[in-house]
Amino acid sequence: MPSSDAPLLRALRGDRPDRTPVWFMRQAGRSLPEYRELRVGTRMLDACLTPDLAAEITLQPVRRHGVDAAIFFSDIVIPLRLAGIAVEIEPGRGPVFADPVRTVADVDRITAIDPEEVTAAAGPIREAVRIVTAELGDTPLIGFAGAPFTLAAYLVEGGPSKEHLRARAMMHAEPASWTRLADWLARVSAAFLRAQVEAGAAAVQLFDSWAGSLAPAVYRRHAMPHARRALEGVDAPRIHFGVGAGPFLADLRLEGLADAVGVDWRVPLDEAAAILGPDTTVQGNVDPALLGAPIDVLLAHVDDVLARGRAARAHIFNLGHGVPPETDPDVLSRIVAHVHAQDASRA
Ligand code: CP3
């Protein structure tokens, strides 16, 4: 069990621990040679559902980089797989569904599945979380899920898309079906989050990676209420992350339900802090594009992110989106050491 003094958990409460907590979205994965070696011969979603393997992959970046949190190795589409939906991750592409959910009849078919099926099938998730938290000791594990809109962007299209036009169109053409689908996805993600927290995850993050394709008013009406529902019943501190959500960043607070808001690389953290106000911790936001820059250029950017982060009540250091697969992992270790070497206290 991590103590409540763990820097990540203190920052989520709004404290400023002596050192700024740091972890990286997608810290587990292809940037690590030890990950690539373990994954040979196992499909992505099968790896997620093999407890020893998922646990080991979760722990790899913690051992290597000395980050202040582990993020559970899984995927946003895992709860859909647990609900019995045919989905695979195509390498280099992303989630692909055998039967996209495009018509009213498709929505009827899928929402007839009881979201509690996810809870019933979550044994391998609970087992992996138990292995990880036993090994982690004082380091907290972050559980996660996909926000309903981002999940729908894949499910309605049937696979990755640039503008998520089919999901966005459903909101307007079939608003009642959209609401049923998004509400169902919220229940599915909530069940996935609860399984992780009950097994030992100390905090959760909701990923709304494609929120930026929505206009602010559309986000507020058709996405935000469902994101709220996904996080509502979870008994742990909550981080809410969106990509491209600058035009409606304040909405990511979910009216105070989120303890921290994850900010992408486009919004400077001091501006984000002004928008989010005094009751929200900020998380972010090194531009992943700088990870391959000369080290002095990168560390100057890291210092700028830290300085701007001081405008918020508390700061969890991270990237503005996930670690690109081609990243040199030694660069991530350098960033952790550099952030930890700075005095983060208020004085
Ligand atoms: O280290 C971590 O952050 C934990 C693990 C994690 C994965 N996926 C592992 C993964 C997390 C938090 C996710 C969330 C996820 N999955 C998101 C939201 C975060 C984001 O990046 O915006 C999204 C949109 C997905 C859907 C998804 N899964 C995509 C787009 C891909 C990439 C496909 C590819 O090959 O480029 C995946 C596969 C995936 N999920 C990998 C990993 C490590 C790569 C699998 C591999 O090794 O081939």
Report DSSP letters for 78-144, one per residue. Answer: HHHHHTT--EEEETTTEEEESS---SHHHHHHHHTS-THHHHHT-HHHHHHHHHHHHHHTTSPEEEE
- Please write the tens of the pLDDT for every residue from 163-176: 999 999 999 999 99
67 vs 47: CA distance, rounded Å: 23
314 confidence band (pLDDT: 50, 70, 90): very high
Could you tell me the distance, in angstroms and rounded to a whole number, from the CA of residue 344 to the centre of ligand 1?
A: 31
Convert the pLDDT of each residue in 175-190 to its tens digit.
999 999 999 999 999 9
Type of residue found at 158: G
Residue 291 pLDDT > 90, yes or no? yes
Tokens describing residue 321:
């989106």
pLDDT bin (cut points 50, 70, 90) of residue 347 is very low
- Give, using CA atoms, the residue closest to atom 40 of ligand 1: 75
Torsion angles phi and psi, residue 91, rounded to 5: -55, 135
Mutate to test the pocket of ligand 1, among 23, 26, 35, 241 (most ligand atoms within 8 A of CB): 26
Instruction: Give the residue whose CA is nearest to atom 10 of ligand 1.
Output: 75
Q: Which residues contact 251 (CB under 8 A, 6 or more apart)?
A: 216, 219, 220, 224, 245
Question: Does ligand 1 have an atom closer than 6 angstroms to the CB of 144?
Answer: yes
Q: Which of 13, 39, 64, 130 is catalytic?
A: 39
Q: What is the pTM of this model?
A: 0.97
Clarify whether 75 is annotated catalytic: yes
Q: Does residue 228 carry a catalytic annotation?
A: no
- Which tokens sit at 304? 């700028």
The reported pLDDT for the residue numbered 346 is: 55
How sure is the predictor about 343, in pLDDT bands with cuts at 50, 70 and 90?
confident
Residue entry with tokens 């030890």: 34
Ligand 1 binding pocket includes 46 (Cβ within 6 Å): no
**pLDDT tops 70 at residue 126:** yes
The tokens describing 306, both together, are 């830290």
Mutate to test the pocket of ligand 1, among 35, 75, 155, 326 (most ligand atoms within 8 A of CB): 75
Exposed/middle/buried for residue 271 (C-beta within 10 Å: 0-12, 13-18, 19+): middle
CA distance 139 to 70: 7
Ligand 1 pocket residue status of 75, Cβ below 6 Å: yes
**Cβ(200) – ligand 1 distance below 6 Å:** no
Rounded to an integer, what distance in angstroms lies between the CA atom of residue 209 and that of residue 338?
A: 28
Q: Which residue is catalytic, options 10, 16, 35, 75?
A: 75
Q: What is the DSSP secondary structure assignment for residue 187, as one 8-state letter? A: H
Query: What is the mean predicted confidence (pLDDT) over 26-55?
Result: 97
Ligand 1 centre distance from Cα of residue 74 (Å):
8
Name the pairing type of β-strands 281-286 and 70-71.
unpaired
* Plot region of 156 (φ>0 → left; ψ -120 to 50 → alpha; else → beta): alpha
pLDDT tens-digit series, residues 205-236 = 999 999 999 999 999 999 999 999 999 989 99
168 is catalytic: no
Ligand 1, residue 35: give the atom nearest the CA: 47
Gap between the Cα atoms of 148 and 165, Å rounded: 15
CB 312 less than 6 A from any atom of ligand 1: no
Give the model confidence (pLDDT) of 74-101 as tens digits: 999 999 999 999 999 999 999 999 999 9
Q: Does domain 7-346 have CATH number 3.40.366.10?
A: no
Cα(43)–Cα(41) distance, integer angstroms: 7
Distance, CA of 299 to CA of 24 (rounded, Å): 16
Q: Is the CB of 37 under 6 A from ligand 1?
A: no
- Closest by alpha carbon to 184, among 254, 78, 79, 89? 79
User: Would you call 304 a catalytic residue per the annotation?
Assistant: no
From ligand 1's centre to the CA of 29, what distance in Å? 8
Task: Sketch the domain layout of the chain as residue ranges.
Answer: 7-346
Catalytic annotation present for 39 = yes
pLDDT, one tens digit per residue, over 9-37 is 999 999 999 999 999 999 999 999 999 99
CA of 29, closest atom in ligand 1: 43
